[in-house]
Amino acid sequence: MTIDADEIAEDAGAALASGQENHLAAMRHSAAHMLASAMLELFPDARLGIGPAIKDGFYYDFDLPRPLTPADLEQLEAGMRAQQAAALAFEHSQDLARADAVRLLEERGQPFKVEIVNDLPESEGPTVSFYRHGGFEDLCRGGHLGSTGELGAFKLLNTAGAYWRGDETRPMLQRVYGTAWDTQAELDQHLWRLEEAKKRDHRKLGRDLDLFSFHPESPAAPFLHPKGMALWRALEDWSRQVRTDAGFHEVRTPSLVRKELWETSGHWGNYQDNMFVLDDYDHVSGLKPMNCPEEILIYRTRARSYRDLPMRFSDYSTLFRKERTGVLAGMFRVRQLTQDDSHVFCRDDQVDDEIRLALSLVRTQYAPFGFEPRAKLATRPDKRLGSDEFWERAEGRLKERLDEDGMSYEIDEGGGAFYAPKIDIFIEDALGREWQMATIQADYQLPQRFDLEYRAPDGGFERPVVIHYAIYGSFERFIGILTEQYAGAFPLWLAPTQVAIVPIADRHLEYAESVRTALAAAGLRAEVDARSERMQAKLREAQEQKVPVMVVVGDRDQEAGAVSPRLRTGESSQGVPLDEFIADLTARAASRELWPAAGAAGPAE
RNA sequence: GCCGAGGUAGCUCAAUGGCAGAGCAUCGGUUUUGUAAACCGACGGUUGUGGGUUCGACUCCCACCCUCGGCUCCA
């Protein structure tokens, strides 16, 4: 629902290209007009903001005398249905010179609309257009249905606060979100998808699957339970393997650091308000929000030679960020996070190769997960260090590497870090919200601020470049995303419990335990369900916990030294020799394949 | 931080100013079972926290904490 709303708002008119997408956009934009019309009936003094079509629906922003209630939404919906039944034509009612439009909108008491007209660029031409349906007329570029009767199935979903023009210094308006589709069946399906998404919510699954919990005693910081930690470690092992293969060396740096370091790095100036600052006797210290300055201190512990470079450090220590309370969200946005952080110190002529390496490591590390990330090139922000020439060059180099790699990407104008442009990788959660995972940054600023150098072949001193990257991003966020991607049904290599052992009767407990020992010796995470329950109940429990593989052990298995496996998908077999079973599972876990079918959690729910 | 909504047993939910309840989970007992829920019983609560109104508050009012949906932010 947050997908580039403002961008689409800007383009509401241009949405009239061709095809089904544009038909839907026109319909949703028309629905927004109908919502505004209904709102004016309910609140004649309502001031209108903008009302664009967005992914799956539309919204309209209003300044109202009081907060909207669910009952208001019903009434607004009723008003829209009345317009729908009346089949009112959408007409291009008039084109006015800017000054006349401003006068008209002022008369109508619509200051936000006046502001829109005043801020339209000259390139938009000397006049602005108005569109009308029934008694409602709105400033608009157009792009509507023929009449309100053509609106398909729709529903108003919720309200939310939204700053006028997305600026937190401007008034907060009430935004009404709605969804609209051609048919009732499509609307029902959309609403069903929203319900299904709630079942995949990592906050619910994290509790149901006993992965992690949150507590008011430490808000916005997960407590990792044994199962969550097993998942974490599987991810960490994989990350370490990728780094080790690529010639990284792991370091570990302190959490508590005196502020002088952050002053040198520039973080104190830019992020002081978002740091946890502590009293340290005669000094002020902060909990680290970043690892980079500390990696730099390690670099500076001896005189470096061009022969030492590139020097690749990885660091899995925990970072602390005092995020504003309203931005916190389960595992997606926490106040303590652990990155698979990487810093490469290299010569300027090695930067291209190091960025190539970083991009290839992103591909390698993401390969087992089976999702398609989206890349963005984030360019120079307003608040930044360094000259325009530097940014030009740094952005250009990242862009070249992306183009060369063939990874598709979009440009995130002004989205860079204060010291460097970034390549960011985004993945969607269950609700379709995008979250940043990997980030790659080529940094020329910190080396300068810390006066880093190395001895060059000609005997002179040169300044190294630091390439920063994290591939999972934060483990917390990655675990949240993975949980939602797989709906808790993790592939074998990640599953906290890989094998649930189900003894049929108490007399099989000893054999069950010997099976567990054999699996554990092969590096597999297995648990025996020793409860005095029926086999069916134990299978149901394992199935609900989305354990990928269950094995039933009874008299026949015990005699044969075998197990009778059942997969999460429902597939089962009997009397498989234990060594054969272990060899098969070990190979599958080692290959990190998506098996058994991810997300297939069987019936129930 | 801002706008709005919410918080009752471990979980899902009931009780609208008058004795806080159900199912599941947990625990005890019985049952010893061949691929998604055996049976019987018991325990479980300062209704997020602190104030206030009232004869009486889960219910009404205020403050705070936490969570959720957005907005803004995200080194």
The predicted structure's pLDDT at residue A11: 42
Q: Is the pLDDT of residue A602 over 50?
A: no
CA of A212 to C1' of B48 (A): 20
Convert the pLDDT of each residue in A335-344 to its tens digit: 999 999 999 9
Per-residue confidence (pLDDT) for residue A18, from 0 to 100: 58
Q: Provide the H-helix boundaries in A450-492.
A: 475-485
- The protein residue nearest B33 (Cα–C1') is A534
Angstrom distance (rounded) from CA A210 to CA A484: 15
Whole-number Å distance between alpha carbons of A113 and A60: 13
In tens, the pLDDT along A551-574 reads 999 999 999 999 999 999 999 999
Active-site residue, from A315, A341, A443, A557 = A341
| Residue A574 annotated in active site | no
- Beta carbons within 8 Å of A385's beta carbon, 6+ residues apart: A266, A418, A419, A445, A449
Confidence class of residue A371 from pLDDT cuts 50, 70 and 90?
Answer: confident
Residue A443 neighbours by CB under 8 Å, 6+ apart: A292, A419, A420, A465, A466, A467, A468
Q: Is residue A376 annotated as part of the catalytic site, yes or no?
A: no
3-class SS at A88? coil
Query: Which nt sits closest to A267, CA to C1'?
Result: B75
A193: helix, coil or strand? Answer: helix
- Please tell me the predicted confidence (pLDDT) of residue A598: 60
CA distance A158 to A153: 16
Q: Over pLDDT 70: what percentage of chain A? A: 96
ipTM, 2 decimals? 0.96
Q: Please indicate whether residue A292 is annotated as part of the active site.
A: yes
Alpha helices for A11-124 (secondary structure H): 19-42, 70-86, 98-107, 111-119
How far in angstroms lies nucleotide B53's C1' from the CA of residue A46? 36
Q: Which amino acid is it at A112?
A: F
Catalytic option among A202, A343, A401, A525: A343
pLDDT tens digits for A177-220?
Answer: 999 999 999 999 999 999 999 999 999 999 999 999 999 999 99
Taking a C-beta distance cutoff of 8 angstroms, is the pair A278, A293 a contact? no
Instruction: For chain A, give the mean pLDDT.
Output: 94
Nucleotide nearest to A175 (CA to C1'): B70
For nucleotide B37, the protein residue with its alpha carbon nearest to C1' is: A537
Helix (H) or strand (E) holding A408: none
